[in-house]
Amino acid sequence: MSADHTRDPCPIVILNDFGGAFAMGVIGGCVWHGIKGFRNSPYGERRIGAISAIKARVPVVGGNFGVWGGLFSTFDCSVKAIRKREDPLNAIIAGFFTGGALAIRGGWRHTRNSAITCACLLGVFEGVGMMFQRYMAWQNKPIAPPLPDQQPLQ
Amino acid sequence: MASWLGFGGSSKKEDTTQQTSQINNNLGFDPSSISDVSSIISTPGGLDTSRLHPLAGLEKGVEYLDLEDENLTQLEGAQGLIPSRGWTDDLCYGTGAVYLLGLGLGGSYGFFEGLRNIPANSPGRLRLNTVLNHVTKRGPFLGNTAGVLALTYNLIDSTIDGLRGKHDAINSIAAGAISGALFKSTKGLKPAGIASGLMAGAAATWCGIKALLA
């Protein structure tokens, strides 16, 4: 599998992933906590309730997303540098380390379970991605050009 | 064709000798003297990358941080410190860098705060936990705040860029002022004004640094 040229080269892509994941978390968190704060507020205070819920919780959601994405990208780059190849196993190993690193303060069992869960999740993602890639390749498969109409022999 | 008509045989022979000498000049070796492919490959200079395809630039090696030219942003004044493909790149890099900066600054502040607040005569595990608790209290708070500010700033900056059609310091300062005001807009007019001024100052400082570095 060749390198993906739509993304930047390795050390600097970590910043990009950090920012991208953070932005995703903030924008998604705005929608999520906006709706949640709106629904959980009493009538008459629903708009202000939504705004205060967004203010209180969205930066945290963004931070969680950002740290996850950045750590994953860091581990992905490290694994690429050590293994010197790019394949789906990279993402799974990186997911394993990410899950473990984020849960490391919860004790050995929690760390292990979290690492394995994260690796499985990334494995599923990679599998779905590969299936999708296969499907796209199958859809865009090369087709032989139609033969010109044969002239009747005279 | 000539031989088929029955005359001009001698001129044909001259032609072929001329052709073979021309081929030898082009290839650098005599194709008739070679019996198998491996001897061609092992010929020194036979597979020189710069001679294979001069336009492909194969002899330059791998170029780091070299994005496709047509993908880079064409906006006036937007050629910053790192190549950018448009507003999404600016957004991601800006937010990521500022978030990491905030996280690092807050984390180191929390680290020293934790070191100062270690309870006396405590076991090692408690000391470690005290320091870690302070780091994880200060670091993410400052990082999240800075990240949200940078995200708002970059979104507004890109919007103003798109509206005005160019990227300059005025846009940045205006975007900083707007994002600061928006950030403190629920606290009242005075805090919003102060935050606006601070963010505009930060944006102006960043523009100055960028002008110095570029």
| Shortest CA gap A20–chain B (Å) | 5
- For the residues A91-99, what does the mean pLDDT come to? 91
- pTM exceeds cut of 0.80: no
Q: What confidence category does residue B15 fall into, taking pLDDT thresholds of 50, 70 and 90?
A: low
- Residue B4 has a pLDDT of 47
Q: Does pLDDT of B105 surpass 90?
A: yes
* Max CA separation in chain A (angstroms): 90
Are B72 and B84 in contact by the 8 Å Cβ rule? The answer is yes
Report pLDDT for B2. Answer: 43
The CA-to-CA distance between both ends of chain A, in Å, stands at 53
Name B166's bridge partners.
B76
Question: B149 and B180 in contact (C-beta within 8 Å)?
Answer: yes
What is the rounded distance in angstroms from the CA atom of residue A55 to the CA atom of residue A37? 10
**Is residue B111 over pLDDT 90?**
yes
Q: Pull the structure tokens for residue A12.
A: 């600097």
Among the partner-chain residues B65, B89, B151, the one whose CB lies closest to the CB of A22 is: B151
Out of A88-97, A143-152, B36-45, B56-65, the most confident range is A88-97
Nearest-CA distance B5 → chain A (Å): 31
Angle A32-A37-A39 from CA coordinates, rounded to 5°: 100
- Three-class SS state of B47: coil
- CA–CA dist B31, B24 (Å, integer): 7
A51, A59, A105: residue with CB nearest B186: A51
pLDDT of res. B3: 43
Using CB atoms, pick whichever of B89, B96, B147 lies closest to residue A63.
Answer: B147
- DSSP 8-state class, residue A5: T
Higher pLDDT, A121 or B81: A121
For the segment B54-92, what is each residue's pLDDT rounded down to a tens digit? 566 555 555 555 555 445 666 656 566 666 777 888 888
Q: What is the pLDDT of residue B186?
A: 85
pLDDT for the residue A2: 39
Q: What is the mean pLDDT of residues B33-42?
A: 67
Choose, out of B98, B151, B182, the residue to mutate when testing the contact with A (most A CBs < 10 Å).
B151
Q: Which of B170, B195, B169 is nearest to B180 (CA)?
A: B195
The pLDDT confidence band at residue A96, using thresholds 50, 70 and 90, is: very high
Are the C-beta atoms of residues A76 and A94 closer than 8 Å to each other?
yes
Per DSSP, the residues of A112-150 read HHHHHHHHHHHHHHHHHHHHHHHHHHHHT---PPPPPPP
Cα angle, residue A93 at apex, residues A92 and A99 outer, rounded to 5°: 85
- Rounded to a whole number of angstroms, the distance from the CA of B7 to the nearest CA of chain A is 37
Q: A151: Cβ–Cβ under 8 A, 6 or more apart, which residues? A: none
User: Is pLDDT of A140 > 80?
Assistant: yes
